[in-house]
Amino acid sequence: MKRNIILKMNDVLNNRITDYQLVEYCENILENYYADMDSESMNLTDLEREILEDISAQWELMIVNSFPENELASLDIESVKFPQQFLEEWIKRLK
């Protein structure tokens, strides 16, 4: 799983996917993980889960803190980007 997460973050850094697509990917993994906690099918390490949760939380915080409430409804969410240093730090932590 670690390799896939790193690949997705590199895809963002290389503009192959949007930051929003990365967030959706992470949230999908977390949703499946929490729905299947009793199963061994979703094998996440604590670090991988923490990184995925951090990506999701930082996205929400960034949206809420960067845009006025009246702009959120019309916001082009696909154009919003994480600071590059966030992605680089998450990759560094996973390696």
Distance CA 8, CA 23 (A): 10
Whole-model pTM: value is: 0.90
Contact 20, 80 (CB under 8 A): yes
Which tokens go with 85? 């240093």
Q: Evaluate the CA torsion angle 35, 58, 8, 21 in order and state its sign.
A: positive
- Average of pLDDT values for 30-57? 85
Give the count of beta carbons closer than 10 Å to the beta carbon of residue 35: 10
The rounded percent of the chain whose pLDDT value lies above 90 is: 80
What is the length of the chain?
95
* Predicted local confidence at residue 35, as pLDDT: 86
Is residue 12 predicted with pLDDT exceeding 70?
A: yes
